[in-house]
């Protein structure tokens, strides 16, 4: 036998063996993936199945797994709870205001920290970075005192103003803008662009992917916020959606259909939002994790 024939079958058998075991792993892998996907999606699915099936008192003991695709619960929710649409509007106002602030101001700040040199730059940036991990709960008591003294408790300002103080966006935008080439800025300056013009017409458009991720994260974070709104809002008409939904259970103790539909309706906007901008969500998670 030549060395050639010795080696050749050996490789072949090895690759055949590999394909065989690979298939074994593959069956197991698919099994695990499918089971975990079901576990991931089931709670939300079950909530929706219940919300879309008419239930006026206690849900049936045999769980509803296939929805009836009826809107009775939602109808009763909106008729019996006169504030639900207020809550949704309040959440929208706060989320839009906070997002607009971060998209504009954090991009400006990120640009300055990434591209400009000025006294105190590094010190300020380290100061900002070092506060990233501080638990937000530390700030609640002084924020409550400040908002009370300003008479803002129980108004949306009590959510919007503290909502603008989130430094993650500055960090994210700095990371992204650092990777942009400086030649374009210089060219714009030579063409007579003002400093703000450079930001407005060069930096901001070029940062679009990071801006999109920042906007999405800020919006979702604000929409989903719960603990501070619970502290800052008292009257039912001023609630945001999360606070209102948490209180449905106390209000409609016996009508589970209303409770289910209230929770489901609060989740729907974010789910649609995710399905539309899925790519940016996943990219954003990655960008946010970049260390530097």
Partner 1 sequence: MSSIRTFAKKYGWSYLFILPSLLTFALFTLIPVLWSLVISFQKYSLARGGTWVTPIYANYAQAFTMLNGIFLISIRNTLVYTLFTVTANILIGLMIASLIQPLANYMRTFFRAAYYLPAVTSALIIGLTWAYIFNAQWGFATYLTRMFGLPPIRWLSDPDIALTSITLSAILTIPATAIVLFSAAMGSIPLEYYEAADLDGANPIQKWWHITVPLVKSTTLYLVVLYTIASFEVFERIYVMVPSGVGNATQTIVTQIYANGFKEFDFGIASAQAFVLFGMIAAIAFFQFRALRSDVEY
What is the footprint of partner 1 within residues 226-255 (CB under 8 A)?
226-227, 231, 242, 245-246, 249
Asked if 248 contacts 259 with a C-beta cutoff of 8 angstroms, the reply is yes
- Minimum distance from residue 5 beta carbon to partner 1 (Å): 20
Q: Please name which of 285, 239, 284 lies closest in space to residue 266, comparing C-alpha atoms.
A: 239
Buried b / exposed e over 105-143, threshold 16 CB at 10 Å, is: ebbbbbbbbbbeeeeeeeeebeebeeeeeeeeeeeeeeb
Among 93, 139, 157, 209, binds partner 1 (CB under 8 A): 139
Q: What Cα–Cα distance (Å) separates residue 198 from each residue in 80, 105, 176, 188, 216?
A: 53, 15, 16, 6, 25
> Does 39 engage in binding with partner 1 (CB under 8 A)?
yes
Considering the complex, state which of residue 45 and residue 82 has its C-beta at the smaller distance from partner 1.
Answer: 45
- Minimum distance from residue 88 beta carbon to partner 1 (Å): 13
The count of chain residues that interact with partner 1, using the rule CB under 8 A, is: 92
Considering the complex, state which of residue 161 and residue 202 has its C-beta at the smaller distance from partner 1.
Answer: 161
Task: Scan residues 162-201 and list those touching partner 1 (CB under 8 A).
Answer: 162, 164-165, 167, 169-170, 195-196, 199
Task: Scan residues 13-32 and list those touching partner 1 (CB under 8 A).
Answer: 14, 18, 21-22, 25, 29, 32
Asked if 175 contacts 111 with a C-beta cutoff of 8 angstroms, the reply is no
> Does 118 engage in binding with partner 1 (CB under 8 A)?
yes
> Does 291 engage in binding with partner 1 (CB under 8 A)?
yes
DSSP per-residue string spanning 118-157 = -TTHHHHHHHHHHTTTS-GGGGHHHHHHHHHHTT-TTSTH
Asked if 173 contacts 106 with a C-beta cutoff of 8 angstroms, the reply is yes
Among 70, 82, 121, 208, binds partner 1 (CB under 8 A): 121
Considering the complex, state which of residue 190 and residue 289 has its C-beta at the smaller distance from partner 1.
Answer: 289
Buried b / exposed e over 153-167, threshold 16 CB at 10 Å, is: bbbbbbbbbbbeebb
> Does 113 engage in binding with partner 1 (CB under 8 A)?
yes
Among 131, 179, 234, 237, binds partner 1 (CB under 8 A): 131
The window from 81-89, 176-184, 206-214, 263-271 that contacts partner 1 (CB under 8 A) reads: 263-271
- Minimum distance from residue 83 beta carbon to partner 1 (Å): 17
DSSP per-residue string spanning 272-285 = HHHHHSHHHHHHHH
What does the block give as tokens for 160? 């919007």
Task: Scan residues 63-102 and list those touching partner 1 (CB under 8 A).
Answer: 63, 101
Task: Scan residues 199-218 and list those touching partner 1 (CB under 8 A).
Answer: 199
Q: Please name which of 139, 292, 280, 135 lies closest in space to residue 213, comparing C-alpha atoms.
A: 280
């Amino acid at each position: 036998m030549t060395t050639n024939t010795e080696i050749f079958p050996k490789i072949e058998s090895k690759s055949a063996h590999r394909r065989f075991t690979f298939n074994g792993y593959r069956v197991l892998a698919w099994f695990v993936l499918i089971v975990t996907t079901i576990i991931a999606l089931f709670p939300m699915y079950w909530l929706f199945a219940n919300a879309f099936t008419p239930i006026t008192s206690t849900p049936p003991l045999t769980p509803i797994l296939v929805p009836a695709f009826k809107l009775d619960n939602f109808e009763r929710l909106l008729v019996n709870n006169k504030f639900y649409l207020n809550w949704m509007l309040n959440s929208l106002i706060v989320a839009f205001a906070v997002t607009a602030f971060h998209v504009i101001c954090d991009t400006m700040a990120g640009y300055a920290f990434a591209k400009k040199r000025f006294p105190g730059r590094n010190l300020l940036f380290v100061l900002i970075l070092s506060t990233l991990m501080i638990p937000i709960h530390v700030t609640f008591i002084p924020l409550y005192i400040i908002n009370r003294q300003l008479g803002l408790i129980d108004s949306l300002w009590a959510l919007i103003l503290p909502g603008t103080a989130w430094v993650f966006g500055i960090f994210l935008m700095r990371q992204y803008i650092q990777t942009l080439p400086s030649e374009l800025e210089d060219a714009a300056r030579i063409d007579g662009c003002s400093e703000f013009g450079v930001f407005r017409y060069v930096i901001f458009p070029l940062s679009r992917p990071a801006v999109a991720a920042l906007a999405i994260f800020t919006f979702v974070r604000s929409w989903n916020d719960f603990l501070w709104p619970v502290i800052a809002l008292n009257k039912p008409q001023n609630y945001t959606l999360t606070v209102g939904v948490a209180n449905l259970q106390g209000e409609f103790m016996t009508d589970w259909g209303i409770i289910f539909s209230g929770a489901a309706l609060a989740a729907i906007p974010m789910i649609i939002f995710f399905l539309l901008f899925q790519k940016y969500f996943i990219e954003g998670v990655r960008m946010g994790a970049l260390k530097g």
